Amino acid sequence: MTNTEPAQPDENAAADRLRQELVETIVKNRADIGRTVDQPILEAVRTVPRHLFTPGVSLEEAYADKVPIMKRDGKGVPISSVSAPWLQATMLQQAQITPGMKVLEIGSGGYNAALIAELVGPSGAVVSLDIDPEVCERAEKGLADAGYDDVVTVVCADGEFGAEQFAPFDRILVTVSAPDIPPAWVAQLGENGRLVVPLRMRGLERSFVFEPDDDRLVCTEFELCGFVPMQGIGESRQRLVGLHGEDIVLRVDDRQPVEAESLQKALEAPRQETWSGVTVGGMEPWDDLDMWLATVAGSYGYLTATDRGLDSGLVELSLRWGMSAIWDSDSLAYLTLRPVGDDRTDFEFGAFAHGPHASDLADQLVVHIRSWNRNQRRGDGPHFEVHPKDSLDGDLPLGRVIEKRHSRVTVSWPPTPGRTGQAN
Catalytic residues: 83
- What distance in Å separates the CA atoms of residue 22 and residue 37, rounded to the nearest whole number? 13
Which of these, 187, 181, 176, 333, lies nearest to 269 by C-alpha position? 333
Q: What is the dihedral of CA 196, 197, 202, 203, to 10 degrees?
A: 130
SS3 call for 28: helix
Rounded Cα distance, 98 and 118, in Å: 10
Strand partners, 4: none
**Which residues neighbour 119 within 8 Å (Cβ) at sequence distance 6 or greater?**
40, 41, 44, 92, 97, 98, 99, 101
Q: Kindly report the three-state secondary structure assignment for every residue of 119-141.
A: HHCCCCEEEEEECCHHHHHHHHH
Contacts of 137 (CB under 8 A, 6+ apart): none
Q: Counting beta carbons within 10 angstroms of the beta carbon of residue 238, is it exposed (0 to 12), middle (13 to 18) or buried (19 or more)?
A: buried
